[in-house]
Amino acid sequence: MIVIGGSSSVRLAREIAENLGCEFIQASTSRFPDGECYTKIEKEKLEGEVVIVQNTYPDGNLVEMLLIRDAAANLGAGKITMVVPYFGYARQDRLFKPGEPMSARVMCRILDAVCDRVVTIDLHKESTLDFFTHPHKDLKAAGAIADFFKGRGIDLVLAPDAGAAGRAEDVGKRMGVPHDHLKKTRLSGTEVRIAPAEMDCEGKNILIVDDMISTGGTIMAAAAALREAGALSVSVACTHGVFVGNALDKLNSSALSGVHCCNTLDSAASDISVAKIIAENLKGGCRCR
Ligand code: R5P
C-alpha cells in the first residue's frame, strides 16, 4: 500500500502512512497562471493499492483530488482508495427548497465514479452513505476525542443539538462520564438559538462535542447557555474545524476553556489526530459496507 497526500491533507496523510508503516508520497501541486490546478506524482510507476488522502473542500481541492487520482491510475495504481477526511457539501443532503441540488449525493456520485472505495470521517449524517454504491466506510472520531480528554476533569459531555446527541453519547461513554444534548434552532446560516440548558450544569466542567464548527455560532450560543446555567468551564471538541473567517479567533477570545478539533482540516486548533483510526481501518482491509 502507498499513501499519497493531496495538498489539503499533507500532515494527516504522512501520519497515516507512518501508522501503516508504508511509503508516503506528497503529490506536487501548483497552480497555472489562470488558477487551474497542476499536479504530479514523483514516481516512475505505482502498483497495488494506492490510498489518496484529500478533502473535497474547498471546491479547488476536489479538482486536485480528481487530478491526483488520474495521475495515480496513469502510473499503474491497482485499487484506489480515497480517504476524504473532510467531505464538503455533506450538509446539503436533501432538498430543503424546490429547485435545489442534492449536493451531498452529487459528491458521492463523483467519488463513486473515480475510486474503488471511499473512507470518510464523521459525515454530517449517516444517511449520506446511502448515496454511495461502491464500498465505503464512515469512521468515527469519538475514540480520539475521548482519549484526548480523558483525565482532564470533564464532568459532562454535551451535544449542542439533537443531531449530535449520538456523538456526545459515544464520547461520554468512552470517557465514563454522563452525556446529554441541548436544543438548538437555526435562525440563519450564521445565527442559532440554543434553549436554556435543562440539565444540571452547576459547577461542572463541560465538554461540548459536534461534528463541525463553521462560523462558530452554534458553539458560542451553546457556551453562553451553559455559563448561564452555572457551568464552571466549557471546552469544545469537534471533528472538523472549518472555522470560517475569524471564527477560531472569536472562539479563542471567548470564555471557552479550550477549542480543539481533529486534523481532518489543518488549523491552529487541530490537535486531535485521527491518523491511527484511519490507518487501523485501512490495515483491516477497510471493513467497508
Ligand atoms: C449542524 O447541524 C452541525 O452539526 C454544526 O452544529 C453546525 O454546522 C456548526 O455550524 P456553525 O459553527 O456555523 O454554527
Position 286 scores a pLDDT of: 56
Q: Is the CB of 178 under 6 A from ligand 1?
A: no
The arithmetic mean of pLDDT across residues 148-158, rounded, is 97
232, 120: one domain: no
Q: How far is the CA of 221 from the centre of ligand 1 (A)?
A: 11
Atom of ligand 1 nearest to the CA of 124: 4
C-alpha 213 – ligand 1 centre gap (Å):
6
b vs e for 82-108, b when ≥16 Cβ sit within 10 Å of the residue's Cβ? bbbbbbbbbbbbeeeeeeeebebbebb
Atom 5, ligand 1: which residue's CA is nearest?
Answer: 212
Contacts of 274 by beta carbon, 8 Å cutoff, 6+ apart: 12, 85, 121, 139, 141, 144, 239, 262, 263, 264
pLDDT digits (tens, 9 = 90+) for 222-234: 999 999 999 999 9
Q: Which of the four pLDDT bands, split at 50, 70 and 90, describes residue 287?
A: low
**Residues 127 and 200 placed together within one structural domain of the fold:** no
Confidence of residue 289 (pLDDT cuts 50, 70, 90): low
Q: Is 192 in the pocket of ligand 1 (CB under 6 A)?
A: yes
* Same domain? 253 vs 192: yes
Check: CB of residue 136 under 8 Å from CB of residue 104: no
Tell me the pLDDT band of 117, cut-offs 50, 70 and 90: very high
| Same domain, residue pair 7 and 135 | yes
Section 25-46 average pLDDT:
98
Structural domain harbouring 68: 2-140+274-287
Q: Is the CB of 239 under 6 A from ligand 1?
A: no
pLDDT tens-place string over residues 4-20 = 999 999 999 999 999 99
- The alpha carbon of 115 is separated from its chain's Cα centroid by a whole number of angstroms, namely 20
Give the Å distance between the CA of 35 and the centre of ligand 1.
30
Q: Which of 184, 204, 250, 283 is catalytic?
A: 184
How does pLDDT run across 66-106, given as a tens digit for each residue? Answer: 999 999 999 999 999 999 999 999 999 999 999 999 999 99
Edge to edge, the sheet with strand 23-26 lists 23-26, 2-5, 50-53, 80-84, 117-121, 136-139
User: Ligand 1, residues 92, 211, 254: which to mutate, most atoms within 8 A of Cβ?
Assistant: 211
Residue 192 alpha carbon, nearest atom of ligand 1: 14
**Which of 133, 99, 23, 7 lies closest to 61 in space, CA to CA?**
7
Using CA atoms of 190, 194, 200, 206 in order, give the dihedral in degrees to the nearest 10.
-10
Pick the closest to residue 78 from 24, 117, 21 (CA basis). 117
The structural domain count of the chain equals 2
The 10s digit of each residue's pLDDT in 264-276 is: 999 999 999 999 9
Confidence of residue 133 (pLDDT cuts 50, 70, 90): very high
Cell 458560542 belongs to which residue? Answer: 220
Q: Are residues 278 and 264 in the same domain?
A: no
Q: Is 6 in the pocket of ligand 1 (CB under 6 A)?
A: no
Cα 132 to middle of ligand 1, angstroms: 24
Give 125 Cα–ligand 1 centroid separation in angstroms.
12
167 and 226 fall within a common domain: yes
Q: Are residues 112 and 49 in the same domain?
A: yes
* CB of 241 shorter than 6 A to ligand 1: no
| Cα–Cα distances in angstroms (integers) from residue 189 to residues 58, 192, 224, in the given order | 18, 8, 19
Residues 43 and 158 both lie in one domain:
no
Evaluate if residue 188 carries a pLDDT over 90. Answer: no
Query: Active site includes 97?
Result: no
Q: Are residues 90 and 36 in the same domain?
A: yes
Average pLDDT over residues 197-210: 95
Distance CA 52, CA 44 (A): 17
Question: CA Rg, the chain, in Å?
Answer: 20
Per-residue pLDDT at 196: 85
Mean pLDDT of the chain: 96
Query: What is residue 36's predicted lDDT score, i.e. its pLDDT?
Result: 98
